[in-house]
Structure 1
């Protein structure tokens, strides 16, 4: 969860609780004191609306899975603020007689404050659940980063092995070229040796024939 959103949320919860107390106090007084407290309450409501707008902007800037949960919380905050506004209207409308005002304080306002307290309790529970969800998201992100680092390390190892294989392939290719050259040289030498043997054989044959002819003529005389 966003730290900025949590900061706005804490400010709103404190402000909402304070406004509820002021509404209770304003309902119990008359005259200038009531006007002063109502003015303070309206100013606080304006501040609460500003905090809700800031929370809304911050929530919409986050990732979709987090944004959806925060916007759900904002709807509850807006409902809580609307209850406070309704309470202020009831206080301002104020030409209630003493009995009606007492009944309002004892029943209607008590119910509204109880509902607001229940809402805040639910909101705090939702905040705690979102905090736990945020922790799980952080753990998942950390696991993802560790997996990514492992994958990068494996790719680097594979790249190094590929380079080694390419070097070995080039070396073998060079050896193969040298073997081919040696084979061609040996073949040429073998052909030359065969040709030399033929020439030497021919020379020997000629010499033998010449010796035979010489011996023949000498013996014939």
Structure 2
């Protein structure tokens, strides 16, 4: 629930209770005292109307899921305000009989209804507050889960980069081993060829020495 709406709501409930008390006390007054009390009540009613307009504007600016509940509460507040206005109208009537009847029965019934309405309004407010807290808790849990998921994805991304780097290093090592194997193979072939050449030269020299010794011994 909007904190701004809650602030206006508390102000209205306090003001409504105060106006109800003033209405009750005004019915017991006469003359200038009653006029002064009614004047104070009318000023309070104007303040209450201003608070309801502010609550209405604030409620309509919120999300639809929250706005619906607040507008329902606002209708009850408007009904409560209309009851207070009706009480003021009855008090300003010049009909003494109507005033006496109001004092005997109507006022008590109206105050009971108003008190019952305020009780229901407070219960509705409490339920909405509880629902709002549950929504806030669910939102906190969702944000924590989202943060944990992002952290896990970042860790997995880091591990993937490490594996790719290791794979590239192994690929480089394989290339170096392949090159070394080719070099060793070429060197082995050269060594074999050199052995054959050296053997051939030695064989030629041996044959030449044998021929030289043969001709010398013959002469």
TM bin (shorter chain): 0.7 to 0.9
RMSD of aligned Cα (Å): 2.8
Report the Cα distance in structure 2 between the residues aligned to 1:17 and 1:26, rounded to whole angstroms.
Answer: 14
Report the CA distance between 1:25 and its aligned residue: 3.0
Aligned twin of 1:99: 97
Residues 20-59 of structure 1 correspond to what in structure 2 (within 5 A)? 20-59=20-59
CA spacing shift, 1:201–1:64, aligned 2, 3 Å: farther
Report the Cα distance in structure 2 between the residues aligned to 1:216 and 1:107, rounded to whole angstroms.
Answer: 162
Number of equivalences: 219
Contact 2:59–2:70 (8 Å) recurs in 1: yes
TM-score by length of 2: 0.82
Report the Cα distance in structure 2 between the residues aligned to 1:60 and 1:161, rounded to whole angstroms.
Answer: 49
Q: Deviations over 1:176-215 (max 9, x none)?
A: 1211211221232233234334434554565577678778
Residues 62-211 of structure 1 correspond to what in structure 2 (within 5 A)? 62-92=62-92, 94-96=93-95, 98-200=96-198, 202-203=200-201, 206=204
Q: Deviations over 1:154-197 (max 9, x none)?
A: 23322332232123112212211211211221232233234334
Contact 1:8–1:54 (8 Å) recurs in 2: yes
Q: Deviations over 1:77-96 (max 9, x none)?
A: 1111122222222333x132
Aligned twin of 1:15: 15
Report the more deviating stretch, 155-164 or 181-190: 155-164
